[in-house]
């Protein structure tokens, strides 16, 4: 499920892991509906039953290091994260400097009408309107299919940075934003999302079944075939009560 990118790097969501035979004579809706059925195990509405999610993860962001091939050993730039989401419109993301998640450095808060950024040793910055948020990919795609202006099937494509050829589908949203989804023709997993605005691919992999939901536990961001950001989800808990005091931010 759950994708977001801001000041440093964060991405959140959800998807699937079942093997199917490729569809013949498919169109965009065939592929998307097959994807939704696969990731939901026949029950698309199950994603709406998630009321909270808690995520612990480790991530890396460095354009220079990735282009130089140094990302494998430069652990000084690794960060640790915890995310708390209460649907539909409350989210907190905590950044830590250590793998024990004991020293919090930065905090990001997302609400229906604003977001608040609290960096270490700096006063809070509040941004009104147009808040960033995340949701599960099946829910996002289902809503986009319902409200889209146009959905186009581009065929099966070979794309730089991806191992296998993938179904390529363009969705023009009601906000007139074009999103390109890449779906594996054999597994019907969502493996990539292309944003023309940022000219980047979000790459989804290492799917695991967690509490009945198929989740990609490795998410990366790629530009021109070069991955410059990644995040590994270490722990995901659904529908656990969350103390609402977590969303109290310093004034």
Q: At what angle do helices 28-40 and 137-147 cross, to 10 degrees?
A: 150
CA–chain centroid gap for 9, Å, is: 11
What domains does the chain contain, in order, with CATH numbers? 28-247 (2.50.20.10)
Q: Model's pTM, two decimal places?
A: 0.81
pLDDT 10s digits, 203-232: 999 998 888 888 899 999 988 888 888 999
CA trace torsion 104, 110, 115, 117 (10° rounding):
10
Yes or no: say if 38 and 184 are a contact pair by the CB < 8 Å rule: no
Note the pLDDT of residue 224: 82
pLDDT greater at residue 177 or residue 116: 116
- 22 burial level (CB within 10 Å; 0-12, 13-18, 19+): middle
Note the pLDDT of residue 214: 85
User: Is the pLDDT score of 248 beyond 70?
Assistant: yes
């Amino acid at each position: 499920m759950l994708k977001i990118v801001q000041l440093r790097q964060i991405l959140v969501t959800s998807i699937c892991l079942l093997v199917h035979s490729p569809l013949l004579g498919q169109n965009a809706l065939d592929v998307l509906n097959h994807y939704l059925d696969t990731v939901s195990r026949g029950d698309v509405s199950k994603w709406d039953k998630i009321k909270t999610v808690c995520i612990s993860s480790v991530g890396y962001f460095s354009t220079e290091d990735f282009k130089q091939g140094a990302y494998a050993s430069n652990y000084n730039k690794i960060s640790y994260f915890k995310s708390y989401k209460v649907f539909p419109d409350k989210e907190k993301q905590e950044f830590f400097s250590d793998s024990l998640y004991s020293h919090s450095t930065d905090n990001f808060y997302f609400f229906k009408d604003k977001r608040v950024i609290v960096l270490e040793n700096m006063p809070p910055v509040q941004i009104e309107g147009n808040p960033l948020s995340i949701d599960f990919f099946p829910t996002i795609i289902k809503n986009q299919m319902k409200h889209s202006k146009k959905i186009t099937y581009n065929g099966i494509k070979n794309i730089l940075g991806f191992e296998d050829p993938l179904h390529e589908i363009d969705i023009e949203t009601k906000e007139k934003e074009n999103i390109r989804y890449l779906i594996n023709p054999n597994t019907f997993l969502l493996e990539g999302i292309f944003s023309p605005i940022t000219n980047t691919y979000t790459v989804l992999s290492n799917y695991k079944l967690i509490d009945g939901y198929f989740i990609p536990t490795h998410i990366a961001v790629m530009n021109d075939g070069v991955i410059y950001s990644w995040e590994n989800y270490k722990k995901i808990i659904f529908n656990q009560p969350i103390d609402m005091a977590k969303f109290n931010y310093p004034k």
